[in-house]
Structure 1
Amino acid sequence: MSDVVFEIFGWIGSILIVVSLMQARMLTFRWMNLIGSTIATAYNLIYGIWPYVAMNVAIVVINAYWLNRLYKEAKDPEVYKVIPVPSDGPYLRHVLTLYKDDIAQFAPEFSAEPADGVVRHSFLVVRGDEAVGVVAVREAGDGVGEVELDWVKPRFRNFTPGQFVYRDSHALPEAGFRQVRLTPHEMTDREYLRKAGFRTERTEWVRDLTA
């Protein structure tokens, strides 16, 4: 291959590394950074620039380690915990206010203040000491809940941690729900709902719960 082709190859690696640093989602960042640093390793190896070869090899190893760890944690209910919180609690209000613009994209009709007469149950999804998502369910009667909000911070969105609320946590049955329903809109991730155990029922998605 010509030097021009090698130069283009090197520039692609550099661009990927730079663009990766602009990604909000952890998984996207790690994959782009891994690919970019792999290309950079090969480019510097071709030209025998050994300090940069060593640096990029180290970055490749670090990215591979974190990708392996992140994929394992995404399936581990011990990593993501579900904590019931008061719907009018100050910390929950802080989170909802801080991310209100992002939340509005996925739940445009959601309001941090429940409508009069509505009984809402709220749950924080936490990873360590960080709140990464919020699920809010209102009572519809007879043990049925309507999911008003199922939202996750952008950088954790690849891992769909909200599924732990429905699949591994007992938080919803302990709150008195035997079933939850959700009416999707254009931004709703249908594949996520399937993974979380929902099924379609006319215009709604339904998830039966077990204690």
Structure 2
Amino acid sequence: MPWLEIIGWIGSGLVVWSLMVARVTKFRWMNLAGSSIAAAYNGVIGVWPFMAMNAIIAVIDIYWLVRLYREKHDAAAFEVVEVAPSDAYLRRVLDVHAADVAAFAPAFRADADTEARSAWLVVRGDETVGVVVVRAREQGEAKVELDWVTPRFRDFTPGEFVHGSSGIFADKGFDRVVVEGAPASEERYLTRVGFTRDGDRWVRPVAA
């Protein structure tokens, strides 16, 4: 098989593979790479309709990548909506994503006692992208039981908004938020959103 044809197959393969990727930014990068290679290949062999189509797809990918990276740290892109811990829609979200939630937070139990819990949905437009659940403790402490983002938006950082400028914990009267049993893979995220290690747990003061 000529090397040029191999390159064409690589481009086509990347485009197809990208369609099976859940994460938004990864999908766009793979689709951009595949469509760019396919556009160049079709240009070399003179198949102009397919060259034009793939070139347009590449431009569209670039547009969305620029927009996605602009919104990645933009608090205005996300909104936090408080819901009752027993809210039917919250339970629906947790049920639909039960396997992923269990893999991400094995200790979390959706059917645990909800009396001391507070819960919020993180939304982007009309799409739910995350769930935050905390349990109130004595002396103004809130223990995070779940801080989860859908796989599609896991490349984003809505947690920066939740723990930063949203004010949801101050509104509840909490003066500190704690995370216990965090795996090593979460340490970078916790540091980025303002937590500091305190023994075997992570603590973040809540600004008034």
TM-score range, shorter chain: over 0.9
Show the counterpart of 1:190. Answer: 187
State the distance in 2 between where 1:187 and 1:154 align. Answer: 19
Q: CA deviation at 1:188?
A: 4.6
Show the counterpart of 1:11. Answer: 9
Q: SS of 1:210's equivalent?
A: coil
Change (3 A) 1:74 1:181: same
Q: CA deviation at 1:189?
A: 2.6
- Counterpart contact for 1:83–1:171, Cα < 8 Å: no
Show the counterpart of 1:71. Answer: 69
Letter of the structure 2 residue corresponding to residue 104 of structure 1: A
Q: SS of 1:87's equivalent?
A: coil
Show the counterpart of 1:146. Answer: 143
State the distance in 1 between where 2:45 and 2:145 align. Answer: 57
State the distance in 2 between where 1:198 and 1:187 align. Answer: 14
Length, aligned pairs only: 208
Cα displacement string for residues 126-183 of structure 1 (whole angstroms, at most 9, x for unaligned residues): 1112211001011121111110001111101110313211012011110111111112
State the distance in 1 between where 2:41 and 2:181 align. Answer: 47
Cα displacement string for residues 55-97 of structure 1 (whole angstroms, at most 9, x for unaligned residues): 1110011000001111111211111001111101111111111
- Counterpart contact for 1:105–1:187, Cα < 8 Å: no
State the distance in 1 between where 2:127 and 2:185 align. Answer: 24
Show the counterpart of 1:99. Answer: 97
Q: CA deviation at 1:23?
A: 0.5
Sequence identity of aligned pairs in percent? 49
Uncovered stretches (5+) of structure 2, i.e. residues with no partner: none
State the distance in 1 between where 2:146 and 2:163 align. Answer: 13
Q: Which moved more, 1:179-188 or 1:120-129?
A: 179-188
Q: CA deviation at 1:184?
A: 3.8
Whether 1:89 and 2:87 are equivalent positions in the alignment is yes
- Counterpart contact for 2:160–2:192, Cα < 8 Å: yes
Whether 1:125 and 2:122 are equivalent positions in the alignment is yes
Q: CA deviation at 1:185?
A: 4.1
In the TM superposition, what are the counterparts of 1:192-211 in structure 2 within 5 Å?
A: 192-211=189-208
State the distance in 2 between where 1:188 and 1:164 align. Answer: 20
Give TM-score scaled by structure 1 length: 0.93
State the distance in 2 between where 1:96 and 1:192 align. Answer: 22
Letter of the structure 2 residue corresponding to residue 146 of structure 1: K
Cα displacement string for residues 18-64 of structure 1 (whole angstroms, at most 9, x for unaligned residues): 00000111111001000111111111121121111111110011000
Q: SS of 2:91's equivalent?
A: helix
Q: CA deviation at 1:115?
A: 3.1
Letter of the structure 2 residue corresponding to residue 147 of structure 1: V
Uncovered stretches (5+) of structure 1, i.e. residues with no partner: none
Show the counterpart of 1:29. Answer: 27
Q: SS of 1:14's equivalent?
A: helix
Show the counterpart of 1:45. Answer: 43
In the TM superposition, what are the counterparts of 1:103-118 in structure 2 within 5 Å?
A: 103-115=101-113
Change (3 A) 1:187 1:152: farther
Q: SS of 2:155's equivalent?
A: helix
